[in-house]
Structure 1
Amino acid sequence: MDIEKYIDDYTNWLKSEITFTKIGEYYEINTPFLDCKNDYLQFYVKQDGNNLFFTDDGYTINDLEATGFKMTPNRKKQLSSILNQYGVHLDHNDLILSAPATEFAKRKHAFIQCMLKVNDLYMSSRSKVTSYFLDDIQDFFTEKEIYCFNNMQFVGKSGYAHNYDFAIQRTRNMPERLCLAINNPSRTTLSSTIFAWDDTKPDRPKDSKLIVFLNDSNKLGKNVEDAFHNYEIDTIRWSERNQPANIHLLTA
């Protein structure tokens, strides 16, 4: 294996795939690296004396927000950690990096890595995405003045403990409502949710309800909702959370 040749081939290919265009005082640089939508990453750089200034012109953050990605406190904390790692700062929505002109290659590489890492917030691990979905629901509850308890645990008739993401206390018109957030609805999550509720319900007040928030940013099969409804479990699609019937279910 001629590894040195392969590395040379890679660097030659990389160089051939990078293009640039002069736009005003900046150069627009297009790279062969792909974002989460399979678009090629591009950024802008200009020189002022002995210093270089890199910017993505707001593309990375704006693109995230266009997908419905919301900057909750946890996400802002992770974003700040990524920016600090690569020496990049945020100006409004623009990623900005300044560096000595002598460090162009190293800082260009760091800036591209930063853009990719920030873009990957959209493709975070499932556990983090679930955490973010919970953040979004909590923000929604705050916005609608829905007062609840977080992360409640109840022991079912089997003796097993089951966790619920939110619990809304009973009112004059509505019973106790327990809520679960399901970021990736599947047969497995459906079965485990139904088992947990079937195990918990006998030890809760007789009219208690379970409400499941379903993240429908990806395709959601109707059979998932039908299965929940067969067990008298209410569902709220995240995209339909502001519908009057859903607001009534949570606030009445």
Structure 2
Amino acid sequence: MDIQKLIDDYTSWLKNEITFEKIGEYYEITTPYLDNANDYLQIYVKQEGNDIFFTDDSITMHNLKMSGFQLTQNRKLQLQRILYQYGVQLKGDELIAKAPLNNFAHKKHMFIQAMLRIDDMFVVSKSRVSSFFLDDIQEFFLEKEIYYTDNVQFMGLSGFSHNYDFLIQRSKTKPERLCQAVNNPNKSTMGNILFAWNDTKPARKNESQLIVILNDQNNIAKGVEDAFLNYEAKVIRWSERNKESNIALLSVS
């Protein structure tokens, strides 16, 4: 597999798919990433001196509230965690960030990741309206004595930083494992994770593995699971988490 070509193809596709339009003092940037309403993610940027200012125009939080989402204390903590991960702030309902002009590309990448992450992690499973997928996974890890580090970040070959939900350290018999929780398994999320992995993997140890935990209580879009497997990721369906093979995949021995 020619990882560099895959990364180059992805970045070329991304560049060709991004459009922009001048609206007042802002530029509206439309990305090829889809949210859970199947709308393209849009961000707004403007120059402020030697800095660039980013905003989502409150769309992310507005869409959540329109779907009936209630921001409980626990959810506020989860939201703050995501914001901290990606260096984004919440002002009222507006996601905002600022960066030097020469750091535009990296900050734009992180801002979009934050929007996608919030959009994904706060799509609550229909059968578990009181909990979050990340919470469920952490409880499962605790129950099975699976030890991990959460919220880890690695630099890829592209120079972009990529966040992973969990890192399970290597042992004598198991490689390092990076885990991503996917609450809403759609093609947009899949493409984003695979780009991050193909960008990260060459910078990690050769035997490092990607484990994707799919919430199959929500619909898994056609082709998503096969695509992960084609790129040599290990896939665990949430409903099958207690299978011996899946426990073995996550354990240290």
Using CA pairs under 8 Å that are at least 6 residues apart, name the structure with larger relative contact order, 1 or 2: 2
Q: For the pair shown, which has the larger CA radius of gyration, 1 or 2?
A: 1
TM-score by length of 1: 0.49
Higher helix content, 1 or 2: 1
